[in-house]
Amino acid sequence: MIKSKLELLNKNLESCKAISLLDREEKNFPNRLILSKLEILLLNNCDVQGTCFLGMRELKVLSLTVVDGSTGVISLYALSSLQKLRALHLEEFEDFSYLGNLRTLEILSLSGSKFEGLADELGRLENLKMLDLTDFSCVVSSSFPPNVIRRLSQLEELYIRGLKIRNDIFLEIKFLTRLTRLILEFPHYLGI
């Protein structure tokens, strides 16, 4: 189901497998929808409370872009109960605590997000096959302790664009033996 406005959602969505609300209008996602069969949820400019995910046991793909000017109200702890979640796209987020609890993730995109200290959480995602740090606002390697990228041994695709990057990131990447696609684009190179 693709709806242009949130108001068009009704309470009879239990059989719905996909919902896309990607318009630019700011909206509050309902807290108590029964979506037991939902597999794909794409939300743009939504204020989402974590309790709305409690009834989404089948959710495999989630894309969230927070409300403009918000700090990403939702705690990623709320997603910990989503045992089937495989792909997660978070845009304009700032708090990634509990990201490491999402151990089933295979695809992670953090484009446009800002956070210092993401490394500890990221290093726990051992099943990750694709990581997108496009336009991520931090200095890779100055905020990443050694061996974080190396721990992502299942990684097949890595995208790093628009970041300040340091030499030691290349030492990390060479240990990714399953890597089949690598894109590094950076405006600032910090050779150290």
CATH number at residue 140: 3.80.10.10
| Predicted local confidence at residue 140, as pLDDT | 47
Distance separating alpha carbons of residues 160 and 26, to the nearest angstrom: 29
How many domains does the structure of the chain reveal? 1
Tokens representing 154?
A: 């299942």
The answer as to whether 3 is a domain residue is no
The answer as to whether 46 is a domain residue is yes
The answer as to whether 5 is a domain residue is no
The answer as to whether 55 is a domain residue is yes
Tokens representing 132?
A: 């997108």
Kindly calculate the radius of gyration of the chain based on its CA atoms and give it in whole angstroms: 17
| Predicted local confidence at residue 192, as pLDDT | 44
183, with CB counted inside 10 A (0-12, 13-18, 19+), is exposed
The answer as to whether 2 is a domain residue is no
Distance separating alpha carbons of residues 61 and 20, to the nearest angstrom: 11
| Predicted local confidence at residue 160, as pLDDT | 80
| Predicted local confidence at residue 84, as pLDDT | 94
The answer as to whether 118 is a domain residue is yes
Domain that holds residue 42: 14-24+32-190
Which residues of the chain carry a pLDDT beneath 70? 1-13, 67-74, 114-117, 136-146, 162-168, 186-192
| Predicted local confidence at residue 187, as pLDDT | 61
